[in-house]
Amino acid sequence: MEFILYEQKGAIGILTINREKALNALNSTVLEELSTALDNVNLDEVRCLILTGAGQKSFVAGADIGEMSTLTKAEGEAFGKKGNDVFRKLETFPIPVIAAINGFALGGGCEISMSCDIRICSENAVFGQPEVGLGITPGFGGTQRLARLVGAGMAKQMIYTARNIKADEALRIGLVNAVYPQEELMPAAEKMANGIAKNAPIAVRNCKKAINEGLDVDMDQAIVIEEKLFGDCFETEDQKYGMAFFLDKNKEKVKEPFKNC
Ligand code: DAK
């Protein structure tokens, strides 16, 4: 692939958007390759993904403005669909995805991070939705996901003013979970990913589904979704092993990795 790097490290996978010269801006090729890379993740082995950008300056500086500048209405819609499809693929990807935001996360960059389950960033990270300054609305889910994450008032302020915010403010408003010095970001992301990967995979996947699907419906329906996914964990090898391990009073016993079945 031209713009996507993928590395599997045991039970975690690291996807890197590798278009450093353009600050990892999302053009059509990046979006297509990202979609293919997600399709190729070995879900029998990989239990958590990390998404990051190449270099130390930018995670993703947005959709490619050069490519977008000449689009017709129909082409703009097609570009938007391509982006939305891949963002949705990330959001509904069966295993958790951590965005390790290593610099600029503007426009489509902020939006792609919001399609991930968890966001952590480096101290130099900058977030913003600058679209209204370019004459467009956030088109990759920004108006929807930002409001759900940080509340409508703060999302409206960020989107209407097109003002960028720094890492500390992103932390304060709950857009990211933690901020690290640049050199500590990937080790922290890998540590978190490995921590997730060691838990029962079916249960983790079901938690992701329950949280995502439950947030889209009212509480009565959400509880039914949770019940179903809770029930689905029973009779799995992982549930039997996890509970048997707890009930076994032999303190010398070492916990085996979960088998994902
Ligand atoms: N697109 C294309 N190239 C970009 C880019 C981008 N978004 N951001 C940076 N680059 C390129 C620059 O053009 C420059 O290329 P060369 O001149 O070296 O060839 C190179 O990356 C380095 O950038 P700078 O020289 O500008 O670096 P600085 O450190 O001076 O500034 C910056 C960094 C991040 C502050 C600046 O590059 C910047 O403001 N970039 C644009 C940020 C931005 O406005 N991003 C939002 C884009 S709008 C839609 C769906 C989604 C969207 C739209 C429609 N539909 C539903 C249709 C999404 C829209 C967006 O994301």
For residue range 49-98, what is the model confidence (pLDDT) as tens digits? 999 999 999 999 999 999 999 999 999 889 889 999 999 999 999 999 99
Question: Is residue 211 within 6 Å of ligand 1 at its C-beta?
Answer: no
What is the identity of the amino acid at 120?
I
Q: What is the pLDDT of residues 199-244, one digit of tens each?
A: 999 999 999 999 999 999 999 999 999 999 999 999 999 999 999 9
What is the identity of the amino acid at 104?
F
Tell me how far apart the alpha carbons of residues 84 and 88 are, in angstroms, rounded to a whole number: 6
Question: Is residue 174 within 6 Å of ligand 1 at its C-beta?
Answer: no
Instruction: Quote the pLDDT of residue 44.
Output: 95
pLDDT for residue 251 is more than 90: no
Tell me how far apart the alpha carbons of residues 4 and 24 are, in angstroms, rounded to a whole number: 10
What phi and psi values does residue 230 have, to the nearest 5 degrees?
-65, -50
pLDDT for residue 112 is more than 90: yes
Q: Among 17, 23, 70, 82, name the best residue to mutate to test ligand 1's pocket (greatest count of ligand atoms within 8 A of Cβ).
A: 23
Q: Among 64, 65, 77, name the best residue to mutate to test ligand 1's pocket (greatest count of ligand atoms within 8 A of Cβ).
A: 65
In the structure encoding, which two tokens stand for residue 38, read together?
A: 């997600």
Question: Is residue 162 within 6 Å of ligand 1 at its C-beta?
Answer: no
Ligand 1, atom nearest to 108 Cα: 61
| CA nearest to 33, candidates 21, 14, 11, 16 | 16
Q: Please tell me the pTM assigned to this model.
A: 0.96
Q: What is the pLDDT of residues 156-197, one digit of tens each?
A: 999 999 999 999 999 999 999 999 999 999 999 999 999 999
Alpha carbon separation from 183 to 16, 122, 167, 180, 231 (Å, rounded): 16, 8, 15, 8, 42
H or E segment at 118?
strand 118-122
In the structure encoding, which two tokens stand for residue 164, read together?
A: 């960028």
| CA 65 – ligand 1 centroid, Å | 6
pLDDT band at 27 (very low <50, low <70, confident <90, very high): very high
pLDDT for residue 37 is more than 90: yes
Tell me how far apart the alpha carbons of residues 234 and 212 are, in angstroms, rounded to a whole number: 21
Give Cα 177 distance to the centre of its chain.
12
> What average pLDDT does this structure show over 4-14?
98
| CA nearest to 98, candidates 16, 156, 29, 167 | 16
> What average pLDDT does this structure show over 104-123?
98
Instruction: Quote the pLDDT of residue 77.
Output: 87
pLDDT for residue 105 is more than 90: yes
pLDDT for residue 261 is more than 90: no
Q: CB-side exposure of 237: number of CA atoms within 13 Å?
A: 7
Question: Is residue 62 within 6 Å of ligand 1 at its C-beta?
Answer: yes
Residue nearest to atom 20 of ligand 1 (CA): 22
Tell me how far apart the alpha carbons of residues 111 and 90 are, in angstroms, rounded to a whole number: 11
Residue nearest to atom 27 of ligand 1 (CA): 23
| CA nearest to 1, candidates 38, 42, 30 | 30
